[in-house]
Chains A and B, each alone.
Chain A
C-alpha cells in the first residue's frame, strides 16, 4: 500500500474510493497499521477502535457497491479526541480517574460522521480533562506527554495533542479536536497542520466532555483548509442534544479567491520568537497577494482575565462532584491534582462581571470586525517547547500578543494555517479569525493562502 495515501487529501481519497481503486477496508487497514506503528512515538493514541473501524469500513464498501453514496467522507478513516463519547470503547478524557469510563452512546459529532460514512479508527490522546485544571508541563495526560510529529522531543501541544500529531504524521486523514482556549490551534501550530475552531453552537457538543459550557467548541483538524471545510460541512448543524446549535445560521460558501480585507493585530509579530517572526512575515506577504493587510488594535479590555474567570468557574461546576470525591488527586500532573479547588470560592459577582464583559466586548469587537473580512496574528508566538520541563520558563521568553483570549471569550471562529518551519525544523502557524458564523470566509482566505504556499503539504521527516 503506497505511502502516498497517508498524505492524500480527502477529495483524493474520495476519488480513489469512488473509482474502485481502493476499498474502504484496505484504506482503513492502512491507517490502522500506521496508527499502531507510529502512534506510540508521539503518545498520540489512547485506543485503536479496530473492530468498529473494520465493521464501518465493510459497511461503506457494501453501500458503495449498492450505489449508495453518503457524501465526500464515505469510507474515509478518522480519529476522535478522547473526550468524545463512543459506544463500546472507553472514553478516558485523557485522565487516569476516567481510564475505564464507558458511555452507552456516541457523541453527536461521532454520530454525524457515522451517518456521513466516515470510519472511526482511533480515540486520540489529549491533555487530562482538556487542560482545565491548569497543567504547567507536557506530562499531563494518561498516555504521557504528547510529542510533536516534527520532533518527538518537542511537545505536541494541547489539549487535542493526539489529533494534531496523528494528522501531521499521516496516521489519520483527519481528526476531530476541541477548543475551549487554544486546544485546536495549539496542537495545529505545534504539528504544522490546519485546525478550524468554529463558532460555539456550530457543532453539537452532545456527548462531549464539558469543560466550559459557554466556551467549548468542536472542530476539524486536517492537512488543509479545504479538508477542514469538507468535514465541517458534515458535522455542523442543529442537533437536539445541544440546544445552542438550534437556530444557527446556515453554513454557506464563500467563493471569493481574493479581494480580502485583513487586519493584522498590532505588535503580534514583533512579540514572537525569531523563527515565528520570519515565518509570519512570509505568510503575510502571501496574504497581500489576495487582499489588503493593515494593522489593527483590539479594544483595551481584560480579555484574558474574563476568559480565565469564566473557564475556572464553569469547569469547577462541571467537575464539582469529581473535586468533592478527591478524584483529582489521581491525575497525572502534580499541579493538576490541586486544580480548580480555588474556583469553588470565586464569588458569583466576579463570574457575572466576566460574562457581562463578554457581552460588552462582543459589541465593541463587532465594530472592529465590520471593517474587515478577517483578523490575523501568529497562532502561537513560539515553536513547540521541549516535551519535558515547566512551560513557564519557555513561554515567558515570548509571552506574545494574540487573538486567542478575545477570540475564545467571544466565540469567534478561527482557522490556524501552517507558516513553515524555523531553523530548527519546527512548525509555526497563523490564525485567521472572522466574525461569528463566518467560518466560510475563514476557509476561503485560508484556502486562497494555501493555493499560494507549500507549507501545509510538508511531511515530517520521521514519517516521510
Chain B
C-alpha cells in the first residue's frame, strides 16, 4: 500500500492520482512478470482496470482509523448469548 494514501484520498474521486498510477503500474509489473506472454492486450487492459479498482478500495479502507485493539479475528460464535 502506498505510503501517501492521504494524497490518494485527497483528490478523492479517481483511482488514477500520481500515487495510484504508481501503485497500479507496480502491481501490473508483478502480474506480467509472474505470467509472461499469457494475456492479450485486451486482457491486460481488463486486468489493469481491476487492479485500479482494488487500489481504490485499498485507499478507501486506508482512510479508516481503527483503534489498536480491533483485530481481524471476528468470530460469529462470539456474538451468541449462549
Contacts and interface: CB of A to CB of B under 8 A. Distances in A.
A309 B79 contact: no
Interface stretch (A275-283, A348-356, A374-382): A348-356
A366 interface: yes
A366 B54 contact: no
A276 to B, nearest CB: 27
A301 B53 CA distance: 18
Contact of B70 (A342, A350, A360, A411): A360
A437 B43 contact: no
Contact of B80 (A342, A347, A356, A437): A437
Interface of B: 1, 27, 30-31, 34-35, 38-39, 43, 46-47, 50-51, 53-54, 57-58, 60-62, 64, 66-67, 70-74, 76-77, 79-82
A132 B41 CA distance: 23
A459 interface: no
Given A308-B57, A335-B46, A356-B66, A344 B74 contact: no
A416 to B, nearest CB: 20
B76 A437 contact: yes
Contacts of B35: 326, 341
Contact of A201 (B30, B43, B46, B76): B76
B66 A360 contact: yes
B79 A437 contact: yes
Given A359-B73, A436-B80, A346 B43 contact: no
B71 A345 contact: no
A344 B64 CA distance: 23
A350 B62 CA distance: 8
From B35, B43, B51, B61, residue with most partner A Cβ within 10 Å: B61
Contacts of A134: 50
B61 A302 contact: yes
A306 interface: yes
A199 interface: yes
A359 B47 CA distance: 30
Interface of A: 134, 199-201, 247-250, 301-302, 305-306, 308-309, 312, 326, 329, 335, 337-339, 341-347, 349-350, 352-360, 362, 366, 410-411, 435-437
Nearest to B2: A347
14 contacts: A249-B81, A302-B64, A305-B57, A308-B57, A326-B38, A342-B47, A345-B31, A347-B1, A347-B58, A350-B54, A353-B58, A353-B61, A356-B70, A360-B70
B54 A346 contact: yes
B62 A353 contact: yes
Contact of A356 (B39, B72, B82): B72
Main secondary structure of the interface of A (DSSP, over half): helix
Contact of B54 (A201, A248, A309, A355): A309
B20 to A, nearest CB: 13
Contacts of A250: 82
Nearest to B39: A338
Contact of B72 (A302, A337, A355, A437): A355
A170 to B, nearest CB: 35
Contacts of A350: 1, 54, 57-58, 61-62
Given A345-B54, A347-B58, 14 more contacts: A199-B76, A305-B60, A312-B54, A338-B43, A338-B47, A341-B47, A342-B53, A350-B54, A350-B61, A353-B58, A353-B62, A362-B79, A436-B76, A437-B80
B82 A249 contact: yes
Contacts of B82: 249-250
Nearest to B50: A342
Contacts of B27: 342, 345
A113 to B, nearest CB: 24
A359 B69 CA distance: 10
A358 B38 CA distance: 36
A309 B43 contact: no
Contacts of B60: 302, 305
Given A337-B43, A349-B1, A248 B77 contact: yes
Nearest to A358: B74
Contacts of B38: 326, 329
A249 B80 contact: yes
Contacts of A345: 27, 30-31, 51, 54
Contacts of A199: 76
